[in-house]
Amino acid sequence: MTEDPNFSHELLFSGIYRCVEEYYSSGNRANIYIIQGREMDVVVDAGLGIWNIRKYLEQKCLIGVNGKPYLVVATHIHFDHTGGLHYFDDVAVHEAEAEYLRKGDNYACLTFVQSGNVSRTPEGYDLRNFRVKKVQTIARILHHGDAIDLGDVMLRVIHAPGHSEGSIMLFDDNRGYLFSGDVIYAGALFDFIPKANVTKYRQTLENLQKMADEVTYVFPGHFEVFKKAKMQQIAQDYIESSNRMMQRFSVACLRCILSVYFGGKSRNPFRKTCYYSCCCCFMRCICE
């Protein structure tokens, strides 16, 4: 493990590193993966971004060595994965969420940072003003089935909606490595947040079960790496629970509350009244 005050990284497998933001202690702290290829590297997600993640990765020779190009792929739009994207020039995201990044849409990004979870900020930085900054230039718009060629590693893009509209996973078919973002990890799967969809989430996990024989390791957006048996169990538990009416009712209640909270918190125009927004969100969740 190599550490400095703000970041640390570790080698997981040959050519696969995980980096985390040490200054951010929340359970929302995302895993940032570096996949090194012969001709290009890929960075999977960019964390919260209060400190400069690009500078750290370059200084530690994890990316950009001898001018080798790299691409930063956002697995989905949420703030804990996209806050650091503004440090990079070559960013890729699924087509369903590209416009949110261009606009810096902090409602879609679910921007929520508690000061107690951030131990250090740059001098003069006001955490109350934390926003996911606009990504002015998106180098690549991703679609289901796209391939990202690293020379000796090929990553397949899998559109996996449910947690968010444009959630994706990256799959290394040769090694069976699945970089899952927030689609699946060893914790409570969030389907009660704005723009989530229980029906699509269940279908995504059913599809994941079908490809389980191809998977060796899952590299999730949060917490620890795990093997396919654990992936299958997490997916099955969700599929079973999401079919229960009480679960749907709970999701509906939570989502309508959070939709109002994040909508009111966002600086983007919040045109609907709280009552109307709650009613629509509640009915949509129940009927999914």
pLDDT tens, position by position, 156-208: 999 999 999 999 999 999 999 999 999 999 998 989 888 899 999 999 999 99
* pLDDT the model gives residue 281: 44
- pLDDT over threshold 50, residue 28: yes
- pLDDT over threshold 70, residue 59: yes
* pLDDT the model gives residue 139: 93
* pLDDT the model gives residue 250: 52
Rounded to two decimals, what is the model's pTM?
A: 0.85
pLDDT tens, position by position, 67-112: 999 999 999 999 999 999 999 999 999 999 999 999 999 989 999 8
* pLDDT the model gives residue 137: 83
- pLDDT over threshold 80, residue 216: yes
* pLDDT the model gives residue 3: 57
Backbone angles phi, psi at 232, to 5 degrees: -65, -40
Count of CB atoms within 10 A of residue 95's CB? Answer: 14
Nearest-angstrom CA–CA distance, 164 and 286:
17
Which residue pairs from 141-148 have beta carbons closer than 8 angstroms and sit at least 24 positions apart in sequence?
141/92, 141/93, 141/94, 141/95, 141/98, 142/73, 142/92, 142/93, 142/94, 142/95, 142/168, 143/94, 143/95, 144/168, 148/42, 148/71, 148/73, 148/92
* pLDDT the model gives residue 12: 98
* pLDDT the model gives residue 152: 96
Computed over every residue of the chain, the mean pLDDT equals 87
- pLDDT over threshold 50, residue 1: no
* pLDDT the model gives residue 274: 40
* pLDDT the model gives residue 166: 96
- In DSSP notation, 77-129 reads --HHHHTTGGG-S-EEEETTTHHHHHHT-TTTTT----GGGB----TT--GGG
State mean pLDDT over 139-154. 97
Where does the pLDDT of residue 280 fall: very low under 50, low under 70, confident under 90, or very high at 90 and above? very low
Q: What percent of the chain has pLDDT over 90?
A: 74
